[in-house]
Amino acid sequence: MKFINSVVTKLWLTIILIVTTVLILLSIILSLYFRNYVLNSTETLLQEEVSRVEEMVLTEHYVDNPDEILFREDNLIIYMDGTVLSEESATDELIFRETIDKEGEGSTVILNDIYGHDYMVKVSNLSDYFDKDTAILKYRDLEDINESMRAVTTIIIASAFVLFIITTLFAFFLINRLTRPLINLKNAAFRTAKGDYNKLQVKSRDELGELTLAFNKMNDDIRHNVSEITHEKNLREQIFTYMNEGVLYFNRSAELIYSNHKGNEMNHIFQSTESGSIRFNDAIKEVADKRESTIERVELQHRHFQLSYTPVKEGETVYGVILLIRDITEEVGAEKMRSEFIANVSHELKTPMVMLSGYSEALLDDIVTEPHEIKEMIGIIKDESDRMNTMVNELITIARMDSRSDFFDIMDNDFNLLLEKLKSRFRHEMNENGIEFSVNSLDGPLIFQFDYDKLSQVMTNLLDNAIRYTSTGDEITVDVSSSPHSVTIEVRDTGTGIKPEHQARIFERFYKVDESRTRGQHGTGLGLYIVKSIIERHRGIIELESRFGSGTTFRITLPKTIGED
């Protein structure tokens, strides 16, 4: 089928058909021409013979003397009143009968198949010159003519065949010259479609050469344009891939056509629930129908999303909808945290400020006059002022840590030296509360990279919390172990412990457990948040293990070497 549909085959068949038709028509015309020419020549000769016989008969009256030589002439029949006067052979007799049967067809008659031969008969009616019906018939055998015609036909057919072969060869040569550049262009076009941009060699300056030049120019333009489109596509894909927002494109039927990686994740979240999927698809179709951009917020699976719908339209035609999805869970959490932060700070500051105001007014109005009562009120004012100062300092510390503007002096320090100072600082308070305090560390110096003051603050907060949640007879233990790359610090107590529902949020800002189970002043809920922030700035981790009623363990793991932050 490929061969038949080929341009080469079509051109070849066209040329052969034209040449064959011309040769056949030419052969027929030539054969007919030669045959007519020979027959006309033969008829002319017969006419001359008949005219000669007529002249002799009319002038010499040979019909009265059958013995004359004229009556014995070959191929001549003289007829008078139903009788053949000339010598008559079987052929003459048959020709005479056939000619008589065809009387009225003209003076020249062609007889076929007379003893296997064809004859041309020329008839001359002399009845007008005699009293009886008289006619002269002169005939000639056409076999020689037919043989000559067959020879001529054979020569014409042979010549036509030779011309056919020559034409075929010439046609293939010509077609090859014409179609090879076209075939090369076709193959090059297929290679171009596959991304192989090769130039063709221009071998002529005719129309095919100009077509090849145009193809090479087009090839270069396509390669340049494809390169630019690919570059722009890759750039767009990289931009979309690294975007924090999900980008999705839907057609009017809410079928997903394109999405980046983030968009796939978010689309999976929306399609994971039937209600979310229906709402999502209905919103896309509604935007496509109304042709107006819209923005909405959606909460799904404890996450918050902002969806921006934009219809893609040209004139009055809407092709689809572009959807930009942004995960605003952290922003919503930050807003909630800010609100809670303001509420908690206000609440924490309100109590000491009310007490400061109340006791100050009592002293100013001389409501309390006894020295010991005055001293007691001044002590309360001092404690509340210290509490406010501590909370303000913690808030400043948190603000600096969040903005990473606080300075950490991380260098090689001896952690055992820090533990010795902590033992000395807390020994009196532990003994006063009836708590057994022990520190288990490695012998000799334990030197690694940390900020001495910040880690001292961490240990102080953890020990303060341990004291607050223990009672007389409980134990507080600090265990220190070391590995080639890290140091593990455990602060363990046998106090009240922490309920499971509080453990997941224990490191959040302003989060407090049941204050009725603590001794002394209540905390602000910022200490453990500061502890976790300091440990994370040291590239470490802090873990909590607690069983309600059995005690709590805080486990800190710090790397011995900290790279640049």
What is the block-wise mean pLDDT of the chain (565 residues), using blocks of 10 residues?
60 77 81 81 82 76 56 72 69 74 67 77 78 78 79 82 81 74 78 78 75 83 84 76 78 81 78 75 82 82 82 82 82 73 68 75 75 79 75 71 70 90 87 89 88 88 87 90 91 88 79 54 69 88 88 92 65
pLDDT value of position 565: 47
399 alpha carbon, distance to own chain's centre: 49
pLDDT value of position 478: 92
Residue closest to 181 by CA, chosen among 197, 204, 162: 204
Q: Is 84 exposed, middle or buried (0-12, 13-18, 19+ CB in 10 A)?
A: middle
Residue 14, C-beta contacts closer than 8 angstroms, at least 6 positions apart? none
What amino acid is encoded at 165 in this protein?
A: I
Residue closest to 468 by CA, chosen among 502, 518, 510: 518
pLDDT value of position 38: 80
Distances (CA, A) of 477 to 276, 295, 448, 488, 552: 52, 56, 22, 14, 11
pLDDT value of position 86: 67
d(CA 133, CA 217): 94
The length of the chain, given as a count of residues: 565
pTM summary value: 0.43
Residue 317, C-beta contacts closer than 8 angstroms, at least 6 positions apart? none
Distances (CA, A) of 193 to 33, 45, 153, 187, 564: 59, 77, 56, 10, 53
pLDDT value of position 517: 46
Residue 240, C-beta contacts closer than 8 angstroms, at least 6 positions apart? 247, 260
In angstroms, what is the C-alpha Rg of the chain?
A: 63
Residue closest to 491 by CA, chosen among 423, 553, 417, 420: 553
> Residue 256 CB: number of other CB atoms within 10 A?
16
pLDDT value of position 516: 45
